[in-house]
Chain A
Protein backbone atom coordinates (compact mmCIF):
# COMPACT_ATOMS: atom_id res chain seq x y z
CA UNK A 1 0.00 0.00 0.00
CA UNK A 2 1.59 3.26 -1.03
CA UNK A 3 -1.04 5.53 0.54
CA UNK A 4 -0.06 7.55 3.53
CA UNK A 5 -2.81 6.78 5.97
CA UNK A 6 -3.82 9.49 8.36
CA UNK A 7 -4.24 8.96 12.07
CA UNK A 8 -7.99 9.01 11.65
CA UNK A 9 -7.87 6.13 9.22
CA UNK A 10 -5.75 4.09 11.55
CA UNK A 11 -8.25 4.60 14.32
CA UNK A 12 -10.77 2.21 12.82
CA UNK A 13 -8.85 -0.72 11.38
CA UNK A 14 -11.63 -3.19 12.12
CA UNK A 15 -14.01 -1.46 9.76
CA UNK A 16 -12.06 -1.50 6.56
CA UNK A 17 -9.60 -3.42 4.53
CA UNK A 18 -8.12 -2.36 1.24
CA UNK A 19 -7.87 -5.88 -0.05
CA UNK A 20 -10.99 -7.09 -1.74
CA UNK A 21 -12.72 -8.24 -4.85
CA UNK A 22 -15.29 -5.50 -5.38
CA UNK A 23 -15.87 -3.93 -8.78
CA UNK A 24 -12.60 -2.58 -10.03
CA UNK A 25 -11.90 0.83 -11.48
CA UNK A 26 -8.66 1.32 -13.38
CA UNK A 27 -5.98 3.76 -12.43
CA UNK A 28 -4.56 5.24 -9.28
CA UNK A 29 -7.90 5.01 -7.48
CA UNK A 30 -8.17 1.27 -7.99
CA UNK A 31 -7.26 0.46 -4.41
CA UNK A 32 -10.03 2.66 -3.11
CA UNK A 33 -12.64 1.19 -5.42
CA UNK A 34 -11.65 -2.37 -4.59
CA UNK A 35 -11.40 -2.07 -0.82
CA UNK A 36 -13.50 -4.49 1.18
CA UNK A 37 -16.25 -2.96 3.27
CA UNK A 38 -16.29 -4.70 6.62
CA UNK A 39 -19.81 -4.31 7.99
CA UNK A 40 -20.13 -4.63 11.74
CA UNK A 41 -22.31 -3.53 14.62
CA UNK A 42 -22.54 0.24 14.66
CA UNK A 43 -20.35 1.92 17.26
CA UNK A 44 -22.21 3.68 20.06
CA UNK A 45 -23.47 7.06 19.01
CA UNK A 46 -23.38 6.48 15.25
CA UNK A 47 -27.02 5.67 14.66
CA UNK A 48 -30.01 4.60 16.75
CA UNK A 49 -29.57 0.87 17.36
CA UNK A 50 -31.96 -1.33 15.44
CA UNK A 51 -32.08 -4.89 14.24
CA UNK A 52 -30.30 -5.32 10.97
CA UNK A 53 -28.50 -1.97 10.97
CA UNK A 54 -24.78 -2.18 10.35
CA UNK A 55 -21.99 0.33 9.95
CA UNK A 56 -18.63 0.50 8.24
CA UNK A 57 -15.92 2.91 7.24
CA UNK A 58 -14.72 3.47 3.68
CA UNK A 59 -11.37 5.06 2.93
CA UNK A 60 -11.17 7.78 0.27
CA UNK A 61 -8.37 10.09 -0.82
CA UNK A 62 -8.56 13.63 0.49
CA UNK A 63 -7.46 14.91 -2.92
CA UNK A 64 -8.53 12.77 -5.84
CA UNK A 65 -6.03 14.40 -8.15
CA UNK A 66 -3.24 13.57 -5.75
CA UNK A 67 -4.15 10.46 -3.75
CA UNK A 68 -0.77 10.53 -2.05
CA UNK A 69 -1.91 13.63 -0.20
CA UNK A 70 -3.60 11.62 2.58
CA UNK A 71 -6.88 9.85 3.17
CA UNK A 72 -10.19 10.45 4.84
CA UNK A 73 -12.66 8.10 6.49
CA UNK A 74 -16.26 8.03 5.34
CA UNK A 75 -18.72 6.52 7.81
CA UNK A 76 -21.62 4.62 6.28
CA UNK A 77 -24.60 2.69 7.61
CA UNK A 78 -26.77 0.01 6.01
CA UNK A 79 -30.10 -1.70 6.37
CA UNK A 80 -30.25 -4.64 3.99
CA UNK A 81 -33.15 -5.30 1.65
CA UNK A 82 -35.78 -7.40 3.37
CA UNK A 83 -36.75 -9.24 0.18
CA UNK A 84 -33.39 -10.42 -1.21
CA UNK A 85 -35.05 -12.15 -4.16
CA UNK A 86 -36.33 -8.80 -5.40
CA UNK A 87 -33.31 -6.76 -4.40
CA UNK A 88 -32.62 -3.99 -6.90
CA UNK A 89 -29.42 -2.68 -5.36
CA UNK A 90 -28.36 0.02 -2.93
CA UNK A 91 -30.15 3.27 -2.19
CA UNK A 92 -27.64 5.92 -1.17
CA UNK A 93 -28.98 8.94 0.66
CA UNK A 94 -28.09 12.46 1.69
CA UNK A 95 -30.03 14.77 4.04
CA UNK A 96 -28.67 18.07 2.75
CA UNK A 97 -27.10 20.87 4.68
CA UNK A 98 -24.48 20.90 3.28
CA UNK A 99 -23.02 19.22 6.29
CA UNK A 100 -25.96 17.18 7.50
CA UNK A 101 -25.29 13.79 9.03
CA UNK A 102 -26.80 10.97 7.00
CA UNK A 103 -26.06 7.85 9.02
CA UNK A 104 -29.62 7.91 10.37
CA UNK A 105 -31.00 7.45 6.86
CA UNK A 106 -31.37 3.77 7.57
CA UNK A 107 -34.41 4.74 9.64
CA UNK A 108 -35.96 7.32 7.32
CA UNK A 109 -37.75 4.72 5.23
CA UNK A 110 -39.27 2.68 8.02
CA UNK A 111 -42.77 3.49 6.80
CA UNK A 112 -41.88 2.66 3.20
CA UNK A 113 -41.88 -1.11 3.21
CA UNK A 114 -41.59 -1.34 -0.56
CA UNK A 115 -38.35 0.65 -0.50
CA UNK A 116 -36.98 -1.46 2.33
CA UNK A 117 -37.85 -4.67 0.53
CA UNK A 118 -35.84 -4.02 -2.60
CA UNK A 119 -33.02 -1.73 -1.54
CA UNK A 120 -30.12 -1.87 0.83
CA UNK A 121 -30.57 1.61 2.31
CA UNK A 122 -27.18 3.26 2.78
CA UNK A 123 -26.66 6.25 5.04
CA UNK A 124 -23.50 8.30 4.91
CA UNK A 125 -21.81 11.04 6.85
CA UNK A 126 -20.21 12.98 4.00
CA UNK A 127 -16.57 13.98 4.21
CA UNK A 128 -16.08 16.54 6.93
CA UNK A 129 -19.19 15.50 8.85
CA UNK A 130 -19.99 13.59 12.03
CA UNK A 131 -18.42 10.14 12.20
CA UNK A 132 -16.45 10.69 9.02
CA UNK A 133 -13.20 12.59 9.17
CA UNK A 134 -14.40 15.91 10.46
CA UNK A 135 -13.68 19.34 9.10
CA UNK A 136 -13.59 21.72 12.01
CA UNK A 137 -13.86 25.43 12.48
CA UNK A 138 -12.58 27.30 15.46
CA UNK A 139 -15.78 28.51 17.05
CA UNK A 140 -16.95 32.06 16.50
CA UNK A 141 -19.38 33.77 18.88
CA UNK A 142 -22.99 33.27 17.78
CA UNK A 143 -24.87 35.77 15.68
CA UNK A 144 -28.15 35.12 17.50
CA UNK A 145 -28.28 38.68 18.69
CA UNK A 146 -28.34 40.18 15.21
CA UNK A 147 -31.56 42.16 14.87
CA UNK A 148 -34.11 41.45 12.16
CA UNK A 149 -34.38 45.18 11.44
CA UNK A 150 -30.84 46.52 11.73
CA UNK A 151 -29.96 50.16 11.51
CA UNK A 152 -27.63 51.16 8.70
CA UNK A 153 -24.77 51.37 11.13
CA UNK A 154 -25.40 47.80 12.34
CA UNK A 155 -25.01 46.24 8.89
CA UNK A 156 -21.25 46.07 9.23
CA UNK A 157 -21.71 43.71 12.19
CA UNK A 158 -22.66 40.95 9.76
CA UNK A 159 -19.46 41.48 7.79
CA UNK A 160 -17.37 41.50 10.89
CA UNK A 161 -18.91 38.23 12.02
CA UNK A 162 -18.70 36.59 8.59
CA UNK A 163 -15.06 37.57 8.22
CA UNK A 164 -14.32 36.08 11.65
CA UNK A 165 -16.09 32.83 10.72
CA UNK A 166 -14.07 32.52 7.55
CA UNK A 167 -10.84 33.21 9.37
CA UNK A 168 -11.67 30.67 12.09
CA UNK A 169 -12.74 28.01 9.59
CA UNK A 170 -9.60 28.51 7.58
CA UNK A 171 -7.43 28.17 10.65
CA UNK A 172 -9.43 25.24 11.99
CA UNK A 173 -9.82 23.37 8.70
CA UNK A 174 -6.31 23.62 7.39
CA UNK A 175 -5.34 21.76 4.23
CA UNK A 176 -8.46 19.59 4.28
CA UNK A 177 -10.86 22.48 3.88
CA UNK A 178 -10.50 23.09 0.16
CA UNK A 179 -11.10 19.41 -0.52
CA UNK A 180 -14.45 19.30 1.25
CA UNK A 181 -16.65 19.90 -1.74
CA UNK A 182 -19.72 18.59 -3.51
CA UNK A 183 -17.57 17.18 -6.28
CA UNK A 184 -15.32 15.25 -3.92
CA UNK A 185 -18.33 13.95 -1.99
CA UNK A 186 -19.73 12.75 -5.32
CA UNK A 187 -16.41 11.00 -5.95
CA UNK A 188 -16.65 9.46 -2.48
CA UNK A 189 -20.11 8.16 -3.38
CA UNK A 190 -18.70 6.46 -6.46
CA UNK A 191 -15.93 4.90 -4.39
CA UNK A 192 -18.59 3.60 -2.01
CA UNK A 193 -20.49 2.21 -4.98
CA UNK A 194 -17.42 0.40 -6.19
CA UNK A 195 -16.44 -0.84 -2.76
CA UNK A 196 -19.93 -2.25 -2.28
CA UNK A 197 -19.53 -4.15 -5.53
CA UNK A 198 -22.41 -2.35 -7.20
CA UNK A 199 -22.49 -1.35 -10.85
CA UNK A 200 -24.96 1.44 -10.12
CA UNK A 201 -26.56 3.09 -7.13
CA UNK A 202 -30.00 4.57 -6.67
CA UNK A 203 -30.14 7.83 -4.78
CA UNK A 204 -32.45 9.94 -2.64
CA UNK A 205 -31.24 13.40 -1.72
CA UNK A 206 -33.02 16.14 0.18
CA UNK A 207 -32.44 19.88 -0.08
CA UNK A 208 -28.72 20.46 -0.76
CA UNK A 209 -28.62 16.69 -1.28
CA UNK A 210 -30.38 17.34 -4.58
CA UNK A 211 -27.41 19.38 -5.74
CA UNK A 212 -25.12 16.58 -4.64
CA UNK A 213 -27.26 14.07 -6.54
CA UNK A 214 -27.29 16.22 -9.66
CA UNK A 215 -23.52 16.67 -9.50
CA UNK A 216 -23.02 12.95 -8.94
CA UNK A 217 -25.22 12.14 -11.92
CA UNK A 218 -23.31 14.61 -14.07
CA UNK A 219 -19.92 13.26 -13.06
CA UNK A 220 -20.86 9.57 -12.96
CA UNK A 221 -23.84 9.08 -15.27
CA UNK A 222 -23.09 5.40 -15.71
CA UNK A 223 -23.18 4.87 -11.96
CA UNK A 224 -26.70 6.16 -11.34
CA UNK A 225 -29.86 4.11 -11.58
CA UNK A 226 -32.98 5.67 -10.06
CA UNK A 227 -33.02 8.98 -8.23
CA UNK A 228 -35.31 11.21 -6.21
CA UNK A 229 -34.29 14.83 -5.72
CA UNK A 230 -36.55 16.11 -2.96
CA UNK A 231 -36.79 19.83 -2.18
CA UNK A 232 -34.45 20.63 -4.99
CA UNK A 233 -32.04 23.48 -5.52
CA UNK A 234 -31.77 25.41 -8.76
CA UNK A 235 -28.70 23.97 -10.48
CA UNK A 236 -28.24 27.09 -12.60
CA UNK A 237 -28.06 29.65 -9.81
CA UNK A 238 -25.49 30.52 -7.19
CA UNK A 239 -26.21 29.91 -3.52
CA UNK A 240 -26.78 33.62 -2.99
CA UNK A 241 -29.10 33.88 -5.98
CA UNK A 242 -31.13 31.09 -4.43
CA UNK A 243 -31.20 33.02 -1.17
CA UNK A 244 -32.91 35.77 -3.16
CA UNK A 245 -35.46 33.16 -4.24
CA UNK A 246 -35.91 32.22 -0.58
CA UNK A 247 -36.68 35.81 0.35
CA UNK A 248 -39.13 36.05 -2.54
CA UNK A 249 -40.84 32.87 -1.30
CA UNK A 250 -41.08 34.22 2.25
CA UNK A 251 -42.68 37.36 0.91
CA UNK A 252 -45.06 35.45 -1.32
CA UNK A 253 -46.20 33.31 1.62
CA UNK A 254 -46.86 36.40 3.70
CA UNK A 255 -48.86 37.93 0.87
CA UNK A 256 -50.93 34.79 0.42
CA UNK A 257 -51.58 34.54 4.16
CA UNK A 258 -52.82 38.14 4.29
CA UNK A 259 -55.14 37.39 1.37
CA UNK A 260 -56.43 34.23 3.08
CA UNK A 261 -56.98 36.00 6.37
CA UNK A 262 -58.62 39.03 4.80
CA UNK A 263 -61.11 36.71 3.14
CA UNK A 264 -61.99 35.47 6.65
CA UNK A 265 -62.35 38.78 8.42
CA UNK A 266 -65.57 37.52 9.97
CA UNK A 267 -63.57 34.88 11.80
CA UNK A 268 -60.35 36.63 12.71
CA UNK A 269 -61.25 40.30 12.63
CA UNK A 270 -57.91 41.32 11.18
CA UNK A 271 -59.20 43.32 8.25
CA UNK A 272 -61.01 42.89 4.99
CA UNK A 273 -58.03 43.57 2.73
CA UNK A 274 -54.53 42.08 2.60
CA UNK A 275 -53.11 45.52 3.33
CA UNK A 276 -55.23 45.81 6.45
CA UNK A 277 -54.08 42.40 7.68
CA UNK A 278 -50.47 43.33 7.03
CA UNK A 279 -51.16 46.53 8.94
CA UNK A 280 -52.04 44.49 12.01
CA UNK A 281 -48.63 42.82 11.90
CA UNK A 282 -46.96 46.18 11.46
CA UNK A 283 -48.90 47.56 14.43
CA UNK A 284 -47.66 44.75 16.66
CA UNK A 285 -44.11 45.25 15.40
CA UNK A 286 -44.35 48.97 16.14
CA UNK A 287 -45.39 48.28 19.72
CA UNK A 288 -42.53 45.80 20.10
CA UNK A 289 -40.05 48.51 19.23
CA UNK A 290 -41.05 50.13 22.50
CA UNK A 291 -40.71 46.98 24.55
CA UNK A 292 -42.08 43.47 25.12
CA UNK A 293 -45.59 42.96 23.83
CA UNK A 294 -47.94 40.08 23.14
CA UNK A 295 -45.57 37.64 24.77
CA UNK A 296 -42.66 38.60 22.48
CA UNK A 297 -39.53 40.01 24.00
CA UNK A 298 -38.60 42.05 20.96
CA UNK A 299 -39.47 42.69 17.35
CA UNK A 300 -36.82 40.26 16.09
CA UNK A 301 -38.54 37.29 17.72
CA UNK A 302 -41.90 38.43 16.33
CA UNK A 303 -40.45 38.84 12.83
CA UNK A 304 -39.08 35.33 13.08
CA UNK A 305 -42.45 33.96 14.22
CA UNK A 306 -44.20 35.46 11.18
CA UNK A 307 -42.14 32.96 9.18
CA UNK A 308 -44.79 30.45 10.26
CA UNK A 309 -46.85 31.71 7.31
CA UNK A 310 -44.85 29.35 5.10
CA UNK A 311 -46.89 26.44 6.43
CA UNK A 312 -50.40 26.49 5.02
CA UNK A 313 -51.51 24.15 7.77
CA UNK A 314 -50.62 26.76 10.37
CA UNK A 315 -52.50 29.66 8.76
CA UNK A 316 -55.63 29.40 10.88
CA UNK A 317 -53.66 29.06 14.09
CA UNK A 318 -51.40 31.95 13.10
CA UNK A 319 -54.38 34.17 12.35
CA UNK A 320 -55.87 33.31 15.73
CA UNK A 321 -52.56 34.08 17.36
CA UNK A 322 -52.39 37.53 15.80
CA UNK A 323 -56.03 38.14 16.68
CA UNK A 324 -55.35 37.22 20.29
CA UNK A 325 -52.46 39.68 20.48
CA UNK A 326 -54.65 42.37 18.96
CA UNK A 327 -57.31 41.63 21.55
CA UNK A 328 -54.77 41.79 24.36
CA UNK A 329 -55.56 38.16 25.18
CA UNK A 330 -52.41 36.41 24.05
CA UNK A 331 -51.12 33.55 26.16
CA UNK A 332 -47.81 34.99 27.40
CA UNK A 333 -46.10 31.62 27.04
CA UNK A 334 -47.23 31.03 23.48
CA UNK A 335 -44.78 33.39 21.77
CA UNK A 336 -41.71 31.65 23.08
CA UNK A 337 -43.29 28.27 22.32
CA UNK A 338 -43.84 29.37 18.71
CA UNK A 339 -40.25 30.50 18.31
CA UNK A 340 -39.00 27.25 19.83
CA UNK A 341 -41.24 25.16 17.57
CA UNK A 342 -40.09 27.03 14.48
CA UNK A 343 -36.45 26.54 15.41
CA UNK A 344 -37.15 22.84 15.86
CA UNK A 345 -38.28 22.75 12.26
CA UNK A 346 -35.18 24.51 11.00
CA UNK A 347 -32.31 22.55 9.53
CA UNK A 348 -30.34 20.76 12.19
CA UNK A 349 -27.08 22.48 13.09
CA UNK A 350 -24.59 21.28 10.55
CA UNK A 351 -21.18 19.96 11.26
CA UNK A 352 -18.96 22.91 11.88
CA UNK A 353 -16.89 23.65 8.84
CA UNK A 354 -18.56 21.68 6.07
CA UNK A 355 -21.36 24.15 5.42
CA UNK A 356 -18.89 27.01 5.50
CA UNK A 357 -16.66 25.26 2.97
CA UNK A 358 -19.17 23.77 0.54
CA UNK A 359 -21.34 26.86 0.15
CA UNK A 360 -18.20 28.68 -0.96
CA UNK A 361 -18.15 26.57 -4.14
CA UNK A 362 -20.49 29.08 -5.69
CA UNK A 363 -19.46 32.60 -6.67
CA UNK A 364 -20.20 35.32 -4.12
CA UNK A 365 -20.19 39.09 -4.36
CA UNK A 366 -17.14 40.48 -2.62
CA UNK A 367 -18.46 44.03 -2.26
CA UNK A 368 -20.30 44.17 1.06
CA UNK A 369 -22.38 47.10 -0.15
CA UNK A 370 -24.13 44.76 -2.57
CA UNK A 371 -25.41 42.82 0.43
CA UNK A 372 -26.13 45.91 2.49
CA UNK A 373 -28.31 47.38 -0.23
CA UNK A 374 -30.44 44.23 -0.33
CA UNK A 375 -30.57 44.04 3.46
CA UNK A 376 -31.86 47.61 3.63
CA UNK A 377 -34.38 46.98 0.90
CA UNK A 378 -35.90 43.98 2.69
CA UNK A 379 -35.73 45.66 6.09
CA UNK A 380 -37.80 48.48 4.66
CA UNK A 381 -40.29 46.36 2.69
CA UNK A 382 -40.65 42.97 4.36
CA UNK A 383 -38.53 42.27 7.43
CA UNK A 384 -40.74 39.34 8.44
CA UNK A 385 -39.49 35.78 8.29
CA UNK A 386 -35.76 36.46 8.47
CA UNK A 387 -35.40 38.13 5.09
CA UNK A 388 -32.64 40.53 6.10
CA UNK A 389 -30.41 37.77 7.42
CA UNK A 390 -30.74 35.79 4.19
CA UNK A 391 -29.37 38.77 2.29
CA UNK A 392 -26.39 39.30 4.59
CA UNK A 393 -22.75 38.60 3.76
CA UNK A 394 -21.57 35.12 4.71
CA UNK A 395 -18.12 33.75 5.35
CA UNK A 396 -17.96 33.02 1.62
CA UNK A 397 -18.01 36.75 0.94
CA UNK A 398 -14.53 36.69 2.42
CA UNK A 399 -13.45 33.27 1.12
CA UNK A 400 -9.85 32.68 2.10
CA UNK A 401 -9.12 29.51 0.13
CA UNK A 402 -8.77 28.82 -3.55
CA UNK A 403 -11.37 26.44 -4.91
CA UNK A 404 -9.62 23.48 -6.54
CA UNK A 405 -12.38 23.16 -9.14
CA UNK A 406 -15.64 24.67 -10.24
CA UNK A 407 -19.06 23.06 -10.06
CA UNK A 408 -19.45 21.00 -13.24
CA UNK A 409 -22.18 21.64 -15.74
CA UNK A 410 -25.27 19.79 -14.58
CA UNK A 411 -26.37 17.31 -17.22
CA UNK A 412 -28.37 14.11 -17.28
CA UNK A 413 -27.18 11.08 -19.17
CA UNK A 414 -28.80 8.60 -16.82
CA UNK A 415 -32.38 7.34 -16.43
CA UNK A 416 -34.92 10.00 -15.59
CA UNK A 417 -35.54 10.30 -11.88
CA UNK A 418 -38.03 12.35 -9.92
CA UNK A 419 -37.97 15.88 -8.51
CA UNK A 420 -40.24 16.77 -5.59
CA UNK A 421 -40.85 20.27 -4.24
CA UNK A 422 -43.67 22.10 -2.51
CA UNK A 423 -45.07 25.56 -2.93
CA UNK A 424 -44.64 27.54 0.22
CA UNK A 425 -41.29 25.94 1.05
CA UNK A 426 -38.97 28.79 1.89
CA UNK A 427 -35.79 26.74 2.10
CA UNK A 428 -35.94 25.39 -1.44
CA UNK A 429 -38.70 27.32 -3.20
CA UNK A 430 -40.81 25.60 -5.81
CA UNK A 431 -39.26 27.81 -8.49
CA UNK A 432 -35.91 26.18 -7.80
CA UNK A 433 -37.29 22.68 -8.10
CA UNK A 434 -39.01 23.57 -11.34
CA UNK A 435 -35.68 24.59 -12.87
CA UNK A 436 -34.02 21.42 -11.60
CA UNK A 437 -36.75 19.29 -13.15
CA UNK A 438 -36.81 21.17 -16.43
CA UNK A 439 -33.04 21.29 -16.74
CA UNK A 440 -32.74 17.55 -16.12
CA UNK A 441 -35.90 16.82 -18.11
CA UNK A 442 -37.33 14.91 -15.18
CA UNK A 443 -40.85 14.72 -13.77
CA UNK A 444 -41.71 17.21 -11.05
CA UNK A 445 -44.14 16.60 -8.24
CA UNK A 446 -45.36 19.71 -6.52
CA UNK A 447 -46.89 19.09 -3.10
CA UNK A 448 -49.14 22.09 -3.36
CA UNK A 449 -50.68 24.26 -0.66
CA UNK A 450 -48.04 23.02 1.71
CA UNK A 451 -44.85 24.81 2.73
CA UNK A 452 -42.80 21.99 4.16
CA UNK A 453 -39.27 20.99 3.28
CA UNK A 454 -38.54 17.32 2.66
CA UNK A 455 -41.32 14.99 1.63
CA UNK A 456 -40.43 11.76 -0.07
CA UNK A 457 -40.80 8.82 2.29
CA UNK A 458 -40.44 11.04 5.36
CA UNK A 459 -43.89 12.45 5.88
CA UNK A 460 -46.43 10.27 7.56
CA UNK A 461 -49.31 12.23 6.09
CA UNK A 462 -48.18 11.70 2.53
CA UNK A 463 -48.75 8.29 1.02
CA UNK A 464 -46.20 7.51 -1.66
CA UNK A 465 -46.77 4.75 -4.13
CA UNK A 466 -44.43 3.30 -6.68
CA UNK A 467 -43.72 5.56 -9.58
Chain B
Protein backbone atom coordinates (compact mmCIF):
# COMPACT_ATOMS: atom_id res chain seq x y z
CA UNK B 1 0.00 0.00 0.00
CA UNK B 2 1.60 3.22 -1.07
CA UNK B 3 0.90 6.47 0.65
CA UNK B 4 1.79 10.01 -0.17
CA UNK B 5 5.09 10.61 1.44
CA UNK B 6 6.54 13.84 2.60
CA UNK B 7 10.21 14.36 2.19
CA UNK B 8 12.42 17.37 2.50
CA UNK B 9 14.59 18.97 5.07
CA UNK B 10 11.96 19.62 7.71
CA UNK B 11 12.10 17.22 10.64
CA UNK B 12 9.21 14.82 10.31
CA UNK B 13 7.90 15.83 13.70
CA UNK B 14 7.26 19.32 12.46
CA UNK B 15 5.08 18.52 9.51
CA UNK B 16 2.62 15.88 8.56
CA UNK B 17 1.14 15.17 5.21
CA UNK B 18 -1.04 12.09 5.12
CA UNK B 19 -2.72 11.26 1.88
CA UNK B 20 -4.76 8.75 0.03
CA UNK B 21 -3.48 5.74 -1.85
CA UNK B 22 -1.45 6.33 -4.96
CA UNK B 23 -3.29 3.57 -6.73
CA UNK B 24 -5.72 1.00 -5.59
CA UNK B 25 -4.50 -2.51 -4.91
CA UNK B 26 -5.10 -4.66 -7.91
CA UNK B 27 -5.45 -8.40 -7.40
CA UNK B 28 -2.37 -10.06 -8.90
CA UNK B 29 -3.25 -12.01 -11.97
CA UNK B 30 -6.66 -10.46 -12.42
CA UNK B 31 -7.65 -10.20 -16.04
CA UNK B 32 -7.57 -6.71 -17.49
CA UNK B 33 -11.13 -7.03 -18.64
CA UNK B 34 -12.26 -8.01 -15.17
CA UNK B 35 -10.54 -5.09 -13.47
CA UNK B 36 -11.87 -2.73 -16.10
CA UNK B 37 -15.38 -3.73 -15.16
CA UNK B 38 -14.96 -3.79 -11.42
CA UNK B 39 -12.97 -0.63 -10.78
CA UNK B 40 -13.53 3.06 -11.15
CA UNK B 41 -13.13 4.53 -14.61
CA UNK B 42 -10.22 6.86 -15.24
CA UNK B 43 -12.51 9.81 -15.81
CA UNK B 44 -13.88 9.44 -12.27
CA UNK B 45 -10.40 9.43 -10.77
CA UNK B 46 -9.36 12.46 -12.81
CA UNK B 47 -12.52 14.31 -11.90
CA UNK B 48 -11.84 13.69 -8.24
CA UNK B 49 -8.29 14.99 -8.59
CA UNK B 50 -9.45 18.10 -10.43
CA UNK B 51 -11.99 18.88 -7.73
CA UNK B 52 -9.36 18.46 -5.05
CA UNK B 53 -7.07 21.18 -6.27
CA UNK B 54 -9.54 23.86 -7.10
CA UNK B 55 -8.98 26.71 -7.86
CA UNK B 56 -6.28 25.34 -10.12
Question: Which A positions have Cβ atoms within 8 angstroms of B?
Answer: 95-96, 100, 104, 108, 206-207, 264, 266-270, 308, 311-318, 320-321, 323-324, 326-327, 329, 331, 334, 337-338, 340-342, 344-345, 347-348, 418, 443-450, 452-455, 458-465, 467
Contacts and interface: CB of A to CB of B under 8 A. Distances in A.
A463 B15 CA distance: 9
B32 A323 contact: yes
Interface in B40-56: 40-47, 49-56
Given A447-B4, A448-B7, A463-B17, A454 B36 contact: no
A465 B16 contact: yes
Contacts of B35: 267-268, 316, 320, 323
A395 B3 CA distance: 41
Main secondary structure of the interface of B (DSSP, over half): loop
Interface residues of B, number: 47
B55 to A, nearest CB: 5
Given A316-B23, A317-B40, A448 B6 contact: yes
A113 to B, nearest CB: 16
A207 to B, nearest CB: 7
A458 B4 CA distance: 15
Given A108-B55, A317-B39, 7 more contacts: A317-B23, A317-B44, A327-B32, A344-B51, A448-B7, A460-B52, A464-B15
Interface of B: 2-10, 14-24, 26-33, 35-36, 39-47, 49-56
A313 B55 contact: no
B54 to A, nearest CB: 7
Given A266-B29, A454-B56, A315 B39 contact: no
A334 B16 contact: no
Of listed B21, B22, B31, B43, residue having the most chain A CB within 10 A: B43
Contact of B56 (A270, A340, A347, A448): A347
17 contacts: A268-B32, A312-B23, A313-B45, A316-B24, A316-B26, A321-B36, A324-B36, A327-B33, A334-B42, A338-B46, A341-B44, A341-B47, A445-B15, A447-B4, A450-B19, A452-B52, A458-B52
